[in-house]
Amino acid sequence: MDQRQLTGVILLVLALQILPISDTIAKYMSLTLPVIQVIWARFFFHCLATGAYISVRHGVGALRPVMSWRHAARSAALFLAVALFYVAIHFMPLTTALTLWFVAPFLLTILAMVFFKEQVSHVQWAAIAAGFLGIILAIRPSSTSWEWTYLVGLLAGVGYAVFLLLTRIVENRIPPLVSVYQTGLVGCLASSAVVATVWEQPAWRDWVLLAAIGIIAAIAHLLIIKAFERADASTLAPFTYAEVVGAAILGFIVFGDVPDLLACAGLAIIILSAVAVVAYNRPTEPAAAASDA
């Protein structure tokens, strides 16, 4: 691995240790504020931070939305995925929600087969089956333990898979960060349209935390873009699961959440299976596709 590729890996791992901080703050704030208000903060301050950076770097004209129906659909898919993920983490540990979120790479492989007629090898099918078994092992659903929040978490993963699928067919002729900014616009506008109906006035300390949710996510996304500018997607793919490390540590420190051995085993199966899927797949997603919750 040359120096440029190594720098890309380091940037990605750093980003995926920063991103759980945003999720942890979002979960913490959702304990005292309506979830939709937290979702609004995630997109509003994300757009505010990226918009300010873009204005300085590319000029105010770059903030003008340039969206086809594909761009709008992709933005809506990301908003749906993040919104559902925030609902999920309000009710369950971060690591459990991330376990369900990791259904995305498996679904993306299946969707690519359906819509793009891509060939799926026997190894990929085996990895997909193992991944779903890992999810079942991690959450161990039963008639008595199944909760509706598991479905919400799975739907968040579905939304993210659709976002990745649409990213593959969207032509981006604008700088990656501008694309990230515009991808968040639908979420910003949609949440702003409804947040007034549930608004609770935050204290000034809460404003700092709400702003941090979006700004930290924006910084993480910028680092992800920089990582994909320096290293190949196939090189970075196995490291995309580093996020669960930061999430597990923060979940334990802030909320006292400790995954049991079966949950850890299930998560390990999911990660290894997803890496196997990536290893036998050759998608060419743009850098923005790497962005998650």
Confidence of residue 96 (pLDDT cuts 50, 70, 90): confident
The C-alpha atoms of residue 95 and residue 249 are separated, in whole angstroms, by 9
Higher-confidence residue of 252 and 138: namely 252
Higher-confidence residue of 88 and 164: namely 88
Answer yes or no: pTM beyond 0.85.
no
Percent of the chain whose pLDDT exceeds 90 = 30
The C-alpha atoms of residue 8 and residue 13 are separated, in whole angstroms, by 9
Alpha helices in 240-293 (DSSP H): 243-250, 261-279
Give per-residue pLDDT as tens, 176-190.
778 788 888 889 999
Higher-confidence residue of 82 and 221: namely 82
54 in Cβ contact with 181 (< 8 Å): yes
Give per-residue pLDDT as tens, 111-137.
878 887 777 677 777 877 777 787 777
Reference 19, options 98, 92, 132; nearest CA is 98
The C-alpha atoms of residue 226 and residue 220 are separated, in whole angstroms, by 10
Tell whether the torsion through CA atoms of 90, 96, 102 and 107 is positive or negative: negative
According to DSSP, residue 142 is labeled -
**Mean pLDDT over each residue of the chain, to the nearest integer:** 82
Give per-residue pLDDT as tens, 195-228.
999 999 999 999 999 999 999 998 888 888 788 7
Reference 26, options 250, 289, 264; nearest CA is 250
17 in Cβ contact with 246 (< 8 Å): yes
Higher-confidence residue of 241 and 159: namely 159
Is pLDDT of 277 > 90? no
Confidence of residue 36 (pLDDT cuts 50, 70, 90): very high
Confidence of residue 146 (pLDDT cuts 50, 70, 90): low
Reference 100, options 115, 114, 81; nearest CA is 81
Is pLDDT of 262 > 50? yes
Mean pLDDT of 76-104: 90
Q: How many CA atoms lie within 13 A of 270 on its CB side?
A: 29
Higher-confidence residue of 209 and 63: namely 209
Give per-residue pLDDT as tens, 155-170.
999 998 888 788 777 6
Confidence of residue 290 (pLDDT cuts 50, 70, 90): very low
- pLDDT at position 233 is 62
Is pLDDT of 288 > 70? no
**Encoding tokens for residue 290?**
């790497």
